[in-house]
Amino acid sequence: MQQRSNTGTRALGILFFSMLMGQVIFALLAYYMNASGTMIVAVLADNGKNILVAIAGLALLLAIGSFIFYRKKITAAKESAQTVQEKLGVYRSANIIRWALLEAPVLLAIIAFMLSGNKDILFVIAAMLLLFVSTKPSVAKAAAALSLSEEEVNI
């Protein structure tokens, strides 16, 4: 039996990896600039704690929103009479939007870290990156989400 490659899932995986690496490299660059002293940080006095709470709150809201949006789109696709290709298109678009919603607070947190130098923001960044990694696409995940067989997804 000839094994078919799933270019849709492969392209989605490449996009996922690119988005993840962009976040990680930006975070590492911001940390290096802060640690080496090449970037001057603003002294925020008492506002540093407020900024951390605001960043964490926004990250939580966007994370919850991303998973609610994803679940609604996937449930609608699963219950529809669409073809397998159309369902996979919905799966791809739902993942891309979910990743964008998960990436936004990471980028904002990195910028807040660069401006404030508050190392506690790094915990928010790390938590959001771990959450982002947990959404890595695969044929098995697509099949389970859409209630399809892996053979149907692997076309």
> So what's the pLDDT on residue 105?
95
Element of type H or E holding 9? helix 7-36
Q: How confident is the model at residue 17 (pLDDT cuts 50, 70, 90)?
A: very high
Which percentage of the chain shows pLDDT scores above 90? 48
Across 1-15, 67-81, 108-122, 140-154, least confident range: 1-15
CB-CB contact of 148 with 85 (8 Å): no
Q: Taking residues 117-146, what's their average pLDDT?
A: 90
> So what's the pLDDT on residue 36?
86
Mean pLDDT taken over the chain:
86
pTM of the model: 0.85
CB-CB contact of 27 with 119 (8 Å): no
Q: How confident is the model at residue 43 (pLDDT cuts 50, 70, 90)?
A: low
Residue whose C-alpha is closest to residue 41's, from 113, 92, 89, 96: 113
Q: State which amino acid sits at residue 28.
A: L
Q: Taking residues 33-55, what's their average pLDDT?
A: 77
> So what's the pLDDT on residue 45?
55
Q: How confident is the model at residue 152 (pLDDT cuts 50, 70, 90)?
A: confident
More confident residue, 44 or 52: 52
> So what's the pLDDT on residue 6?
59
**Helix (H, G, I), strand (E, B), or coil: what is residue 38?**
coil
Residue whose C-alpha is closest to residue 70's, from 134, 125, 116, 115: 134
CA 30/CA 18 separation, integer angstroms: 18
CA 22/CA 70 separation, integer angstroms: 22
